[in-house]
């Protein structure tokens, strides 16, 4: 029986790339003519003509579905909405800018159906065309998070992956508000095959990720998948107690009380209060995430889907 493949495409201001993307994905669908397809576009509160393009596509092509959010909720929310609404036996997530080459899909499908894998994921082996400073911090982040977290997060991993219905259901079951998909994909387990590919630059439009946005996203990843930073404040505390004992008590015992020395005193005061503030900040990060989780706010709000326009 023909299996249904859902292709989820999060779109935020993608009016330039969408026509190219649609053309490309149609070519792939034609190539895989034994399968049925569903293209599920998520309009993440775009301010350009993305929604108009999607409406037009949905009118012409019955395979096209779309979900339009009431505002920008971020790519994570877009992917979650897509996974939740997808009906396919197999589900694939892809960027709209062709940085995740749709031409890899037949190969991915072949692997998932013939070999014993639940998911075929991709990772780029080069970061060509990316600012070097961004690559440097990205590498640092992956090294750090793999040291302090149990979730297996692969350097260069894209969100571009094909999954079985079983794995998708597991992911949809994780309803946390602070989502970090790269961690969630690893956390749910299942067998994943990694396909390496060379980085491709985006076809049109520009990236939506500034350095600051990426920095905040990486913090999110750390806080969501590791509690090591919480232990850090404890370690700092112990360290400073030991330092105080050695420096202040032992020193005084051996060399007697030195009257001179207020600069060092002020120095120590600043240092310790700095460390205290830092630890408080770490607590604050976790507290704020817990606060947001307990509110149980929806991850996204739908304003319009293709069904509203028929
Ligand atoms: N995207 C989204 N919501 C956002 C930001 C991005 O849905 O708030 C989508 C975007 O339209 C694209 C994908 O996420 O399809 C990846 O974004 P982008 O290409 O800007 O990221 P980069 O490839 O530079 O990491
Ligand atoms: Mg991109």
pLDDT reported for residue 167: 93
- As to burial, measured by CB atoms within 10 angstroms (0-12 exposed, 13-18 middle, 19+ buried), residue 210 is exposed
Secondary structure class of 79 (helix, strand, coil): helix
DSSP per-residue string spanning 272-302? HHHHHHHHHHHHHHHHHHHHHHHHT--S--E
Q: Give the angle subtended at the CA of 106 by the CAs of 165 and 29, to the nearest 5°.
A: 85
Question: Please, are residues 67 and 81 in contact by the beta-carbon 8 Å criterion?
Answer: yes
Dist CA 256 CA 172 (whole Å): 66
- CA of 299 from ligand 1 middle (Å) equals 17
Q: Is 11 in the pocket of ligand 1 (CB under 6 A)?
A: yes
Sign of torsion over alpha carbons 112, 115, 121, 122: negative
Q: What is the pLDDT of residue 221?
A: 84
**CATH number where 203 lies:** 3.90.550.10
The DSSP bridge pattern shows strands 4-11 and 36-43 to be parallel
| pLDDT reported for residue 282 | 85
Whether the predicted pLDDT of 177 surpasses 90: no
Are 8 and 129 members of one domain?
yes
Which is nearest to 48 in space by CA: 95, 16, 81?
A: 16
pLDDT grade for 216, boundaries at 50, 70 and 90: confident
Closest listed residue to residue 72, CA positions, set 304, 300, 308, 256: 300
- Listed residue (50, 40, 35) closest to 93, CA to CA: 40
List the domain range (segments joined by +) for residue 276.
Answer: 228-295
Tokens standing for residue 138: 């990205």
- The whole-chain average pLDDT of the chain stands at 85
Eight-state DSSP code of residue 100: S
Q: What is the pLDDT of residue 262?
A: 65
Residues 37-48 have a mean pLDDT of 93
Taking residues 106-123, what's their average pLDDT? 91
Do 210 and 233 fall into the same domain?
no
State which ligand 1 atom lies nearest to the alpha carbon of 94: 15
Q: Whose CA is nearest to atom 3 of ligand 1?
A: 75
Residue 139: the pLDDT is: 86
Choice among 29-33, 183-187, 190-194, 204-208 with the minimum mean pLDDT:
204-208
Confidence of residue 300 (pLDDT cuts 50, 70, 90): very high
94 touches 108 (CB < 8 A): no
User: Structural domain tally of the chain?
Assistant: 2
Longest dimension (CA), the chain: 89
Q: Which residue has the tokens 């028929």?
A: 310
Query: Percentage of residues in the chain with pLDDT exceeding 70?
Result: 97
- Split at pLDDT 50, 70, 90, the class of 292 is confident
Residue 266 scores a pLDDT above 80: no
Q: Are residues 121 and 254 in the same domain?
A: no
132/173 same-domain check: yes
Residue 218 and residue 72 share a domain: yes
Yes or no: say if 6 and 94 are a contact pair by the CB < 8 Å rule. Answer: no
Task: Examine the domain organization and report whether 60 and 126 are in the same domain.
Answer: yes
* Predicted pLDDT at 215: 86
pLDDT in tens, 46-94: 999 999 999 999 988 889 999 999 999 989 999 999 999 999 999 999 9
Name the residue of 208, 210, 216 to mutate for ligand 1: max ligand atoms within 8 A of Cβ: 208
Q: Whose CA is nearest to atom 22 of ligand 1?
A: 207
199: pLDDT strictly greater than 80: no
Could you give the CA distance from residue 79 to residue 5 in angstroms, rounded to a whole number? 16
Same domain membership, residue 255 and residue 193: no
Same structural domain, 204 and 278: no
Burial 10-49 (b: 16+ CB within 10 A, else e): bbbbbbbbbeebbebbeebbeeeeebbbbbbbbbbbbeee
What pLDDT score was predicted for residue 132?
Answer: 83
Looking at residue 206, its pLDDT comes to 78
Q: What is this structure's pTM?
A: 0.78
Q: Residue 257: which pLDDT band, with cuts at 50, 70 and 90?
A: low
Residues 8 and 142 in one domain: yes
Q: Left, alpha or beta for 167 (phi > 0: left; psi -120 to 50: alpha)? A: alpha
pLDDT for position 77: 93
Determine whether the shortest distance from the Cβ of 94 to ligand 1 is under 6 A: no
Closest-lying ligand to the alpha carbon of 44? 1
pLDDT at position 38 is 94
The percentage of the chain sitting over the pLDDT mark of 90, rounded to a whole number, equals: 32
From the list 32, 50, 31, the residue with the least C-alpha distance to 41 is 50
What is the pLDDT at residue 258?
A: 64
The per-residue pLDDT for range 117-169, each reduced to its tens digit, is 999 998 887 777 778 888 888 888 888 888 888 777 888 788 899 999 999 99
Separation of CA 302 and ligand 1 centre (Å): 19
173 and 240 inside one domain = no
């Amino acid at each position: 029986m023909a299996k249904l493949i859902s292709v989820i495409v999060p779109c935020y201001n993608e009016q330039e790339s969408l026509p190219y993307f649609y053309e490309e994905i149609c070519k792939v669908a034609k190539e895989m003519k034994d399968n049925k397809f569903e293209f599920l576009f998520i309009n993440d509160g775009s301010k350009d003509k993305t929604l108009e393009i999607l409406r037009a596509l949905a009118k012409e092509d019955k395979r096209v579905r779309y979900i339009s959010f009431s505002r920008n909720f971020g790519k994570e929310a877009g992917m979650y909405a897509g996974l939740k609404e997808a009906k396919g036996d197999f589900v694939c997530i892809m960027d709209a800018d062709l940085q995740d080459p749709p031409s890899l899909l037949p190969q991915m499908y072949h692997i998932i159906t013939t070999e014993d894998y639940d998911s075929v994921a991709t990772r780029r082996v080069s970061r060509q065309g990316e600012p070097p400073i961004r690559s440097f911090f990205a590498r640092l982040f992956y090294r750090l998070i793999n040291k302090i977290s149990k979730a297996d997060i692969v350097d260069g991993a894209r969100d571009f992956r094909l999954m079985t219905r079983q794995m998708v259901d597991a992911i949809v079951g994780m309803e946390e508000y602070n989502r970090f998909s790269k961690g969630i994909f690893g956390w749910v387990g299942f067998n994943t095959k990694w396909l390496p590919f060379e980085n491709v630059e985006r076809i049109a439009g520009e990236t939506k990720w500034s350095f600051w946005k990426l920095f905040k996203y990486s913090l999110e990843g750390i806080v969501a998948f590791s509690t090591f930073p919480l232990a850090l404040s404890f370690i700092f505390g112990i360290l400073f107690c030991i330092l105080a004992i050695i420096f202040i008590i032992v020193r005084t015992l051996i060399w007697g009380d030195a009257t001179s020395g207020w600069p060092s005193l002020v120095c120590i005061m600043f240092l310790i209060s700095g460390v205290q503030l830092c630890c408080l900040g770490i607590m604050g990060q976790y507290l704020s995430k817990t606060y947001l989780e307990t509110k149980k706010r929806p991850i996204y709000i739908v304003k319009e889907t293709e069904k509203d326009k028929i």
